[in-house]
């Protein structure tokens, strides 16, 4: 990889580039080695041109939003990270419709909806990621999911062409979508909400955050819920039944507050987390017959 050529391209596109960026600064688990370079995306056109450059030059690349559902290797990432963050986070409203860039924080979109008196996103308020990441995995909480409000999205397809897709074609299901596990990259999301009372919406959002604070270990770094909900049960229930709450590996621990979370006690490595997750999966399988599956994406 020619870092000088890549830097020239970023300068041309107006994108900030950071060579050897430490991934632990960009994921909520707070561990992870360096990537070869991290580029802050500033538009869909810039993203498409950069992805085309990566593909043409056989450069490994990865997509990162807020990093709230990501596990990064201790060795880092031997390629370029395209970071969809604050440089690509505009939120626009038109009547009951909100369109936002993929790097906009989902919480910020929820706040904008509340300010406009638009209801439908209250239960999504505490999800700590970008709107692009939320759609990618059809994020949800307390009975609501992204599929309930999304009407369309703009994305970059496998040929680096910017396209638009309607929600009915997104294959939105539990923690997956048309984008999951593919080369398709979400660049903007459009949601349609309903008119409501701003004060009532704000109260509902406050109630949602109070629930999260009381039940989840928000004072420790984590990637959110560590395991997907298995059909017929709940990951936290199974982990509790197996007596695994508080189990540790190095600096990683099954939260004593909510066993569905593996947390970083402050000095966890990627190896600690993965070893702990494997132990949990093994014991749960042996004792209950349920096979747990990781929810976070492993950046590799």
Q: What pLDDT tens digit does each residue of the chain (300 aa) get? A: 889 999 999 999 999 999 999 999 999 999 999 999 999 999 999 999 999 999 999 999 999 999 999 999 999 999 999 999 999 999 999 999 999 999 999 999 999 999 999 999 999 998 999 999 999 999 999 889 999 999 999 999 999 999 999 999 999 999 999 999 899 999 999 999 999 999 999 999 999 999 999 999 999 999 999 999 999 999 999 999 999 999 999 999 999 999 999 999 999 999 999 999 999 999 999 999 999 999 999 998
Q: Is 151 exposed, middle or buried (0-12, 13-18, 19+ CB in 10 A)?
A: middle
Other beta carbons within 10 Å of 78: 13
Kindly list the catalytic residues.
175, 225, 295
**Pairing of β 61-64 and β 77-83:** parallel
**Pairing of β 70-72 and β 297-299:** parallel
Domains of the chain, each with CATH number or no CATH: 3-87 (3.30.43.10), 89-215 (3.30.465.10), 235-299 (3.90.78.10)
């Amino acid at each position: 990889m020619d870092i000088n050529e890549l830097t020239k391209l970023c300068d041309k596109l107006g994108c900030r580039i950071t060579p050897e960026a430490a991934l632990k600064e960009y994921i909520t688990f707070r561990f992870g080695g360096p990537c070869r370079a991290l580029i802050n995306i500033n538009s869909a056109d810039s993203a498409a041109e950069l992805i085309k450059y990566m593909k043409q030059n056989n450069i490994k690349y990865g997509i990162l939003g807020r990093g709230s559902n990501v596990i990064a290797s201790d060795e880092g990432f031997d390629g370029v990270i395209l970071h969809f963050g604050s440089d690509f986070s505009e939120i626009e409203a038109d009547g009951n419709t909100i369109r936002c860039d993929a790097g906009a924080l989902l919480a910020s979109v929820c706040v904008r909806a509340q300010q406009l008196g638009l209801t439908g996103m209250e239960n999504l308020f505490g999800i700590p990621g970008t709107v692009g990441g939320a759609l990618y995995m059809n994020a949800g909480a307390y009975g609501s999911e992204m599929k309930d409000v999304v009407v369309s999205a703009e994305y970059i397809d496998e040929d680096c062409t910017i396209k638009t897709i309607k929600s009915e074609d997104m294959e939105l299901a539990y923690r997956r979508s048309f984008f999951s596990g593919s080369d398709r990259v979400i660049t903007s999301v459009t949601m349609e909400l309903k008119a409501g009372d701003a004060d009532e919406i704000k109260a509902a959002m406050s109630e949602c955050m109070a629930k999260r604070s009381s039940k989840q270990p928000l004072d420790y770094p984590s990637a959110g819920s560590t395991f997907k909900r298995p059909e017929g049960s709940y990951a936290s229930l199974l982990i509790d039944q197996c007596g695994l709450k508080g189990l540790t590996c190095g600096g990683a621990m099954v939260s004593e507050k909510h066993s569905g979370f593996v947390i970083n006690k402050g000095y966890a490595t990627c190896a600690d987390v993965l070893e702990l997750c494997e132990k949990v999966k093994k014991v749960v399988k042996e004792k209950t017959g349920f096979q747990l599956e990781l929810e976070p994406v492993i950046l590799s």
